[in-house]
């Protein structure tokens, strides 16, 4: 069974790369691709209301099944009319399978790694996250052939999640796109373990296909296999051969951007070109170009909002840290030609003041800017692909962005699940 | 000197009470009175952006001189074009003198009292405030004839504020209305001390008049004298005889609502009817009717936003605490016929979820509702005074509101200065 209310139409495919533009059709509206999905972990984008999301150009929101399963519970969301009504967002929604959070809250916290080796060095984390990570029990998950036992990060209660459970919960939540249940692996897993996990993932995604009962939701398969070429190729062949409405690429993407690009090169061609492809958890500005060129249509990345709450702002000239003393009396906006609400109304000096004074409004205004930039960078890439001037646009954008050097702020927390914000403790 | 760019026109004065409607004219627009001023302590209303303030009907915002003097500094605000441009609010603004915060952070925290005895019982405070109050040094202020030495609550640095300093700082900030420098007293001060403080206040407000140099700001005098009839009458006569553009009534208002009403009855008639009257720091729904009837035109009260952040919501049927388990699956809005953004888009169950999940959006949405209710209650009172059906409106409103009994939540923190919100620690 594939969804009867979901469609994907490719509008433009570039002659010199695998980049393409297209249009997803869902029961809650269309999504122009490539698209950046905004992350609303607990059925809310942190500090940003739905009207502001519309205003800044967001097309689709990703919510986390793991979090909503634990709190407030998928049955409650269903009882209240489903996730769209619950969170006041009537546009397209996607939920993940819960697998990433279940496993990353176990293994990831234990070993301090995320999707790329080194993205979770404990010393580099903002202090709040460090304390939290260290305070976690050593082992929160236990996997077997049928599913995974895990411990709630909220209250320590124990739970079990199987492929069938994940699909049932996602059907209760009622997003337009749902994901098959998988076991993501980290860059610290060796090839042998990654192969075992991949075997489970393949059996679980097939069970996910069989478990689905709603025809108004698209179901995406997930390619795993870590940074191991043979496993990634095997997984893409297997998943690509199943009747999913689209495909996600998840799990460890290696030790570098080059590894990530290689993973895409090994997998993309096995995933039918006429179905959409989603790269899970990636979306830094510099990644978007390279991944779109390799055939990715959909991105989700939590980074813009935790970055914002720590004062790290994206600009076309690289990142800036608004808490820096150099901005104390700076009467210019974060970015001169940015049309977002924050940049058209407030100065760097004011935003710095708000953040240093722990004003809630800081988190909202800074998050609006970061989300606006990333969402509209992907839109600009889309437009340049349609207009035929992608290569020039990319060259200009990346030369401006890279010229600024590395970010002056703390690194982006890789997953919101693992990065409590300063105001939610 | 009185302001040349400030006007107050009384439109309607009721035949059966001292209630009246009017119109303040300021360089940044008009304010219809009676009006509820929204408090933006640190040049921001906590969690609510200027566009949302406009949307919910706010006419005028009050910012705190004490806080802005300490951070980011009035010179910086002036350098950046003044408070309106700094905070992105182009409507009318008022700043207080700084006196209330200077003294309340000393004496108030030391003795656990605010404007009314019993409003600050330590046991009744939310835990965050309790810890903070207890952690304060025993004595933060030292007053003499010329001014007051105080210690910053931010970094422990020492400062001195005089009448001339307060006016200079407020002129740098550049609000439309500024307040004369005073020494407020608490309900725990005896008559002898209150009389001494009143003497200083009278000398300080006269010095404030002499110190002012801008003709585009209105300067309001402040009546003090605690809950002592002779002192309040003396103060109203004295302040009422000086060429202020308007009058504020500050300091301790006694031990009960009846005491507060008595203070108004002792003072209002000595304050020229043709100038606006501002009751400082009061604005609970049930207080608005009684104080407007006694001739008050302007209110400011911080309570709606800290109440909101603790989950306590105003409704026409009394307060409700959204964290209560009874709202777990409640699919209705906070208030059925409320036209605010929060009530037209979100359910009680969702708002409860956001608050329990420590989602930043909770603070914004709940604050919008509380501010909307109070601002628009005062608007409805204004309309009923104009329309001649005030008595009926009041009877109906208060019978609905009182029937619900006391609030189920924690008491309202009396001053934002003394009530760090859970998300700003």
Using a pLDDT cut of 90, give the percent of chain A over it: 80
So what's the pLDDT on residue A335? 97
Per-residue CA distances from A96 to A222, A268, A396, A421 (Å): 10, 20, 34, 21
Which candidate in B96, B176, B182, B245 is catalytic?
B96
Contact A46 B359 (CB under 8 A): yes
* pLDDT of residue A119 exceeding 60: no
User: Residue B331 and residue A50: Cβ atoms within 8 Å?
Assistant: no
pLDDT at A329: 98
ipTM score for this prediction: 0.91
One DSSP character per residue, B68-109 reads HHHTT-HHHHHHTT-HHHHHT--S-EEE--SHHHHHIIIIIH
- Closest partner residue to A71 (CB to CB) among B71, B357, B365 is B357
- Which neighbouring-strand residues pair with A37? A300
The predicted pLDDT at position B405 comes to 61
Q: What is the pLDDT of residue B130?
A: 36
Does position A412 have pLDDT exceeding 60, yes or no? Answer: no
Q: A360 or A188, which is more confident?
A: A360
- Candidate from A199-203, A259-263, B117-121 with smallest mean pLDDT: B117-121
Q: Look up tokens 């993973």; give the residue.
A: A263
Residue A237 has pLDDT above 70, yes or no: yes
Distant-in-sequence, close-in-space partners of A26: CB < 8 Å, separation ≥ 6: A5, A6, A92, A176, A177, A218
Q: What's the pLDDT at B103?
A: 86
A375-386 pLDDT per residue, tens? 999 999 999 999
Asked if residue A322 has pLDDT above 90, the reply is: yes
Q: What is the mean pLDDT of residues A327-341?
A: 98
- Reported as a single tens digit per residue, the pLDDT across A40-56 is 999 999 999 999 999 99
pLDDT reported for residue B16: 72
pLDDT at residue A416, rounded to an integer: 37
Q: Is B256 on the interface with A (CB under 8 A)?
A: no
B389 counts as catalytic: no
Place of tokens 């809310």: A44
pLDDT number for residue B219: 98
> Which parts of chain B sit beneath pLDDT 50?
110, 116-138, 408-425
pLDDT recorded at residue A47: 98
Q: Is B152 on the interface with A (CB under 8 A)?
A: no
**CB spacing of B49 vs A356 below 8 angstroms:** no
Sorting pLDDT into bands at 50, 70 and 90, what band is A409?
very low
Q: pLDDT tens for residues B62-105?
A: 999 999 999 999 999 999 999 999 999 999 999 999 999 988 87
For residue B144, give every residue at least 6 positions away whose Cβ sits within 8 Å of its Cβ, in sequence order, or none. Answer: none
Q: What is the CA radius of gyration of chain B?
A: 20
Q: Tell how many helices (H) and how many strands (E) occur in chain A.
A: 17, 16
pLDDT of amino acid A114: 52
- Residue B288 has a CB neighbour count (10 Å cut-off) of 23
pLDDT over threshold 90, residue A191: yes
A148, pLDDT greater than 70: yes
Residues A329, A334, A338, A339, CA torsion sign: negative
The answer to whether B323 contacts chain A (CB < 8 Å) is no
């Amino acid at each position: 069974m594939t969804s009867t209310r979901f469609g994907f139409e490719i509008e433009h495919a570039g002659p010199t790369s695998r980049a393409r533009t297209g249009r997803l059709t869902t029961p809650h509206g269309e999504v122009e691709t490539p698209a950046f999905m905004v992350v609303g972990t607990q059925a809310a984008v942190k500090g940003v209301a739905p009207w502001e999301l519309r205003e800044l150009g967001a097309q689709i929101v990703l919510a986390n099944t793991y979090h909503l399963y634990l709190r407030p519970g998928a049955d409650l969301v269903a009882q209240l009319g489903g996730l769209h009504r619950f969170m006041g967002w009537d546009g397209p929604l996607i939920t993940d399978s819960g697998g990433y959070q279940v496993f990353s809250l176990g293994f990831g916290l234990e070993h301090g790694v995320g999707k790329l080796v080194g993205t979770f060095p404990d010393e580099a984390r903002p202090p709040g996250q460090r304390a939290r990570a260290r305070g976690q029990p050593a082992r929160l998950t236990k996997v077997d052939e049928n599913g995974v036992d895990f411990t709630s990060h909220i209250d320590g209660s124990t739970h079990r999640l199987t492929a069938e459970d994940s699909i049932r919960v996602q059907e209760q939540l009622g997003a337009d796109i749902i994901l098959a249940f998988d076991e993501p692996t980290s860059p610290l897993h060796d090839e042998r373990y990654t192969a075992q996990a991949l075997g489970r993932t393949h059996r679980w995604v097939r069970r996910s296909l069989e478990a689905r009962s709603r025809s108004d939701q698209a179901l995406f398969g997930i390619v795993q296999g870590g940074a191991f070429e043979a496993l990634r190729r095997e997984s893409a062949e297997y998943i690509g051969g199943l009747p999913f409405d689209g495909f996600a690429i998840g799990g460890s993407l290696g030790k570098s951007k080059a590894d990530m690009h290689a993973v895409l090169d090994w997998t993309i061609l096995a995933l039918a070109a006429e179905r959409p492809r989603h790269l899970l958890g990636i979306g830094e500005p510099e990644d978007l170009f390279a991944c779109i060129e390799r055939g990715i249509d959909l991105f989700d990345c939590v980074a813009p909002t935790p970055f914002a709450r720590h004062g790290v702002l994206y600009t076309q000239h690289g990142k800036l840290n608004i808490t820096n003393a150099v901005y104390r009396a700076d009467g210019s906006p974060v970015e001169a030609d940015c049309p977002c609400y924050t940049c058209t109304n407030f100065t760097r000096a004011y935003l710095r003041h708000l953040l240093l004074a722990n004003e809630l409004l800081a988190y909202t205004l800074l998050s609006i800017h970061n989300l606006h930039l990333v969402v509209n960078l992907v839109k600009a890439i889309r437009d340049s692909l349609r207009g035929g001037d992608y290569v020039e646009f990319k060259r200009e954008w990346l030369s401006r962005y890279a010229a600024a050097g590395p970010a002056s702020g703390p690194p982006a927390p890789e997953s919101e699940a693992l990065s409590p914000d300063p105001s939610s403790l």
